[in-house]
Structure 1
Amino acid sequence: MTRTLPSLVAFFLLLVAPCLVSAYSIELPAATKECFFEDLHKNDKMTVTYQAGGGGHMDIDFWLSDPDGHALHKDVKQSTGTASITAEKDGRHEYCFSNLMSSVSDKVVSFNVHGVIFVSEDVAPVEREIRTLANDLKSVRDEQEYILVRERRHRNTAESTNSRVKWWSIVQSIVLFLVVAWQVYYLKAFFEVKRVI
């Protein structure tokens, strides 16, 4: 019975681990900020990873603060980042994304929140291995989401470039036909013989 208890706990953690990860994507209009909250208990761990995926120079401000409002982590004008904390007290921790520095362009931000509920160190080796595996799976998932955001950004750039090339080609064709028509008219007028009566 005592040997199956760690296995049951490990199985439960494997089922619950995906629920402890949240992935979001938000749009930050120009000159605004968006804040989110997480209720943590003492010794709980939380990691926030983010990436700006579109708009302007694709940079944002990010900060994470404790329940008393003290800044635990701050990034200024970054396109990607990670913040990890261990809660020192119970309460609502706040993390915010800011586009206040931009007055024109909207930004798209994708972010993940990882939460690890504190468990004492005297856990079974199987549990420790399952936690390591769960953390590795989170890293793989983060990397996949990062790749998706990069692909979306590059696809948007390629489509924008394609559209500009198309319209530039159309404008060049119109100018070419206008120049040809003007040259034909001018040369025709140049070779006309004017009779004086």
Structure 2
Amino acid sequence: MLLTTILQIVTCCLVFPAQVTAFYYYTSGSERKCFHKELSRGTLFQGTYKAQIYDDGIQDYRDAGAQDFGVVIDIEESFDENHLVVHQKGSASGEIIFLALDSGEHKICIQPEAGGWLIKGKTKIDVEFQVGTDEKLDSKGKTTVDVLHTKVNVLNSKIAEIRREQKLMRDREATFRDASEAVNSRAMWWIVIQLIVLAVTCGWQMKHLGKFFVKQKIL
């Protein structure tokens, strides 16, 4: 009997390699709630969440909209002094994709936030966590990873374009600096030439005046 049970457990693990956890919890205001997950290096973590706010008019919870509040998602590495690896601000409902870079306990924190103001009233947060490799997760998770990969490529392209523009600006600055130095050099030589001409003129005038004064018997 025990052997049969063990075989059933092993079979379930083989058939369902991705771990799925779904739950909900109640909170008030902008309380930050954290959950701990043990992730291995290279493990893909996918989470979805949906926030609801208590409506006194209908005496029940309703889906929160953008005008109500948003949600902040933080993922920290508990084994590395709570090193923050993900900080994501989103709407009242959404998802998050994270690839663990190191093995150990990770802390996933969820906090409702309304533009820096405290949220009044009670809220309900529906959460679903799914852990596995990217091959074992659903196609939606694969699509999300592909989208993120595309965004990273776009950002890399923009960074390369910014670097090209910076290089062009540096080249223009170097050209302008060389032109300014050339103009300053010409202006300096022109001043030197003017001083030489002025000195020669003054010398000639002094000599001419000396001869004039001698002829006039003034000196």
- TM-score computed with the length of structure 2 as normaliser: 0.44
- TM-score computed with the length of structure 1 as normaliser: 0.49
